[in-house]
Amino acid sequence: MSEYGERTPVDVAVGVLVERDAEGREGRFLLTSRPAGKVYAGYWEFPGGKLEAGESVEQALRRELHEELGITIGEAHPWKIELMDYPHARVRLHFCKVYDWQGEFEMREQQAMAWQDLPVQVQPVLPGTIPVLQWFAAERNHSGVTHVG
């Protein structure tokens, strides 16, 4: 049981958009800010959103990234799943790496975007984003802090 009691988790598809170099090595990744009017407004996170009834993780991610950012993604590569307890909700985050997309980025919810590397410079970072930064650090043999603040 979480400190907030038993709650059914909300499934959320999360896109970890990653640039790759000519040799296929992973580079910078995209973070977006949470828009005004949403819980944790102004916090930085990986973009995505809730699964709708009958949607797969990839379908939800494709829909959400088009609605929020105006892009069409290629294949979503399932990566990791993390369960997070927030005061307002329990969420099951389905993280997918995305290496290919088309279209110009449009911040359709008046959010901000920033391409980042470790350590992440934008702040504050949403608590559900911190495990991802730690996974990147492990994969990339990065030692030290993963984000400022």
7 pLDDT band, cuts 50/70/90, is: confident
Asked if pLDDT for residue 132 goes beyond 70, the answer is yes
**Confidence tier at 2 by pLDDT (50, 70, 90):** very low
**pLDDT reported for residue 88:** 87
C-alpha 149/C-alpha 53 separation (Å) is: 37
Alpha-carbon distance of 20 to 130, in angstroms, equals: 22
pLDDT tens string 33-84: 999 999 999 999 999 999 999 999 999 999 999 999 999 999 999 999 999 9
First-to-last alpha carbon distance for the chain, in angstroms, is: 29
Domains of the chain in start order, with CATH, are 10-139 (3.90.79.10)
* List of residues 6+ apart from 46 with CB closer than 8 A: 14, 15, 16, 17, 29, 30, 31, 32, 95, 129, 132
CA distance linking residue 105 with residue 47, whole number of Å: 12
* Rounded average pLDDT over 99-126: 97
Q: What integer pLDDT is reported at residue 6 of this predicted model? A: 67
Of residues 39 and 1, more confidence is placed in 39
CA distances, 23 to each of 14, 67, 132, 137 (Å): 25, 31, 23, 20
pLDDT at 9 over 70: yes
pLDDT of residue 5: 54
Residue 1 has pLDDT above 70, yes or no: no
